[in-house]
Structure 1
Amino acid sequence: MSRIAMMGVFVLCLSACAEIYRNHGYVPPAEDLSKVTVGVDTRDSVIEAIGAPTASGVLEDSGYYYVQTRFRHYGARAPQIVSRELVAISFDRSGVVRNIERFGLEKGQVVTLQRRVTESSLEDKTFLRQLLGNLGNFDPGTLLPTEE
């Protein structure tokens, strides 16, 4: 009888040391994110397509953030982060999707997993840079009257 009790205690001790994984948060899968079109969809259509965000930015024109973290619990040790993923959707001032980015955590470093961005040729240029860039793009002959 004592042998059975010892085996029971041994099995309980082994099961207490089993790894347990817990997931926190939500990140939409890639196929759901593909339903969101950069430059077309708005804040409301994003929520309709992939659900409400885990968090949103502090400012009005800020973006939506979807965060998922997976923890591993092992015995009496403190939980360890196994994986973390973040999807950031940013909007322009009119509320249209400007950028969709997917980040991951690998060896303690943030890694960009996927990025879809609409780029404007004017966004990075100052007025002076645009002015100087156009100096070589005109033909002086168009400024002078032509004889016909």
Structure 2
Amino acid sequence: MTYLPRPARTAGRLTLALAALTVLAACSADIAPRGNEPAPELLAQVKPGELTRGDVRALLGSPSTTSAFGDETWYYISSQTTQWAFNATEELQRQVVAISFDDRGIVKDVRTMDETAGRDVEIVDRTTPTPGREETIIQQLLGNLGRFNKDAAK
């Protein structure tokens, strides 16, 4: 058994500790902001009856999405997500700012919602039946052999 001098043992332990810290730092949680979160001081300037669509766009920027139908509403959606190593991404916080406009394009309503205002939507898992019968690939390939119209070929 060889004996290492004290400085060599200390350097080895220090190297091992630095390597362990580097591995742990690489596996730490990563918090990422996503979306378009208006600054609170800018959002406070958006008051019903005072600003137009153009004013809101100049102040807050383009919305994340707009309403698909009905009265026009702009949505500014933001969230913070985290992911640790190879685990699935987890949402820490979500905020949705909904700004509704009247027929003249003036701000009608401003609402701020968090993740508690959302609802879980159950996805329906069903398929639309197709007419006819189900055939294998071989039946499909060989099914038309011998089926042709001699009169159409003339």
User: Which residue does the alignment assign to 2:51?
Assistant: 41
Deviating 4+ runs (over 6 angstroms): none
1:92 counterpart = 2:92: no
Aligned residues, how many?
108
User: Which residue does the alignment assign to 1:110?
Assistant: 117
Paired with 1:70 and 1:95, the residues of 2 have a C-alpha distance of 31
Does the 8 Å contact 1:53/1:65 carry over to 2? yes
Amino acid at match of 1:89: I
Normalized per residue, which structure has more strand?
Answer: 1
> Deviation at 1:24?
0.6
Q: Which protein shows a greater Rg?
A: 2
Does the 8 Å contact 1:61/1:95 carry over to 2? no
User: Which residue does the alignment assign to 1:70?
Assistant: 80
Paired with 2:77 and 2:68, the residues of 1 have a C-alpha distance of 16
* Residues 52 and 60 of structure 1, relative CA distance in 2, 3 Å threshold: farther
Alignment root-mean-square deviation, CA: 2.1
Structure 2 unaligned blocks of 5 or more: 1-10, 119-154
1:30 counterpart = 2:40: yes
Q: Give identity over the alignment, percent.
A: 26
Amino acid at match of 2:43: L
> Deviation at 1:92?
1.3
In the superposition, the TM-score normalised over structure 2's length comes to 0.61
> Deviation at 1:8?
4.5
